[in-house]
């Protein structure tokens, strides 16, 4: 009973953090890799819930993987963003989740069949298929834009790691997170900079053991533990918290799809009540509203 009361108190204070506390923990204030690592370190202390915009957002008619979507979210809440770097025919890295253009742009066919200049004839579409005025951005432009505003978490969509590292260098923006699917990918970046920050797919105990045996530093990562909480990954979350690792769940394939705002709100709140540190969502502004609403 004491443990339950403590958990409830911690949730109350984290969801109703004093402005001064929230101000100190604003993602936009992260100016270097040391600050980035410290911000995403699990210490067991109360901290405001952290929101990750999945591909930015699909809210209010904004197209995914666009800087306009990022800017819209940041007007309403502090957040960082998972984005999807892909290569054009002429080796320019752009933001696009799908390998093809059809779903999210006015173009057709494979992205890799077009040069960057050729892609500029197309416009991005929102999640209802409506054409917007926005164009496909480059990763370099997005990283330069995000500096001092937010953090971009770069998913791995087949772009050679050395090319990603070079664009980060060109951007002069050190505050970047990298989604990692294998210890080898983590080691590539760590050999170049020991302060690299990762979002690691850690879905089960086998993955936990894999990274522990590979000696990938726990202090350099957050862990994506899946789209929902199960008995298994609740235990996994406890193990990761012992290592100082924040845990992230994605609402995109689950709670975001619920039919009513009330159902989604309850789902988002329940995840944070259960101890999740970071919630990734297609609807980050709605998540922020849910956490602020009594």
* Tens place of pLDDT per residue across the chain (294 aa): 444 443 444 444 444 443 433 444 689 999 999 999 999 999 998 788 999 999 999 999 999 999 999 999 999 999 999 999 999 999 999 999 999 999 999 999 999 999 999 999 999 999 999 999 999 999 999 999 999 999 999 999 999 999 999 999 999 999 999 999 999 999 999 999 999 999 999 999 999 999 999 999 999 999 999 999 999 999 999 999 999 999 999 999 999 999 999 999 999 999 999 999 999 999 999 999 999 977
pTM score, two decimals? Answer: 0.90
State the pairing for strand pair 197-201/152-154. unpaired
User: Taking the domain 2-292, which CATH number applies?
Assistant: 3.20.20.190
In the numeric block, the tokens 């890295």 are attached to: 93
In the numeric block, the tokens 């917007």 are attached to: 132
Question: Measured between alpha carbons, how far is 226 from 125 in angstroms, rounded to an integer?
Answer: 28
CB of 10 closer than 8 Å to CB of 3: no
């Amino acid at each position: 009973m004491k443990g339950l009361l403590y958990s409830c108190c911690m949730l109350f204070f984290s969801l109703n953090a004093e402005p001064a506390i929230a101000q100190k923990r604003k993602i936009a204030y992260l100016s270097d890799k040391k600050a980035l690592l410290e911000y995403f370190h699990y210490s067991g202390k109360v901290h405001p819930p952290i929101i990750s915009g999945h591909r930015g957002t699909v809210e209010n008619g904004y197209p995914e993987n666009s800087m306009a979507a990022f800017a819209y979210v940041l007007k309403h809440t502090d957040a960082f963003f998972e984005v999807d770097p892909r290569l054009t025919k002429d080796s320019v890295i752009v933001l696009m989740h799908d390998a093809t253009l059809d779903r999210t742009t006015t173009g057709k066919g494979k992205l890799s069949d077009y040069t960057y200049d050729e892609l500029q004839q197309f416009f991005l579409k929102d999640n209802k298929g409506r054409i917007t005025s926005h164009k496909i951005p480059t990763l370099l432009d997005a990283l330069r834009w995000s500096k001092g505003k937010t953090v971009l978490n770069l998913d791995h969509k087949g772009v050679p790691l050395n090319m990603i590292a070079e664009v980060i260098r060109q951007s002069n923006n050190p505050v970047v997170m990298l989604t990692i699917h294998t210890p080898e990918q983590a080691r590539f970046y760590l050999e170049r900079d020991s302060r690299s920050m990762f979002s690691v797919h850690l879905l089960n105990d086998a993955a936990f053991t894999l990274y522990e045996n590979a000696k990938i530093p726990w202090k350099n990562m957050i862990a994506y533990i899946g789209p929902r909480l199960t008995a298994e990954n609740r235990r996994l979350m406890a193990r990761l918290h012992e290592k100082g690792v924040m845990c992230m769940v994605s609402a995109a394939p689950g709670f975001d799809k619920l039919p009513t705002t009330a159902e989604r709100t309850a789902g988002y709140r329940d995840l944070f009540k259960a101890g999740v540190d970071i919630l990734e969502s297609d609807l980050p502004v709605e998540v922020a509203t849910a956490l602020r609403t009594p």
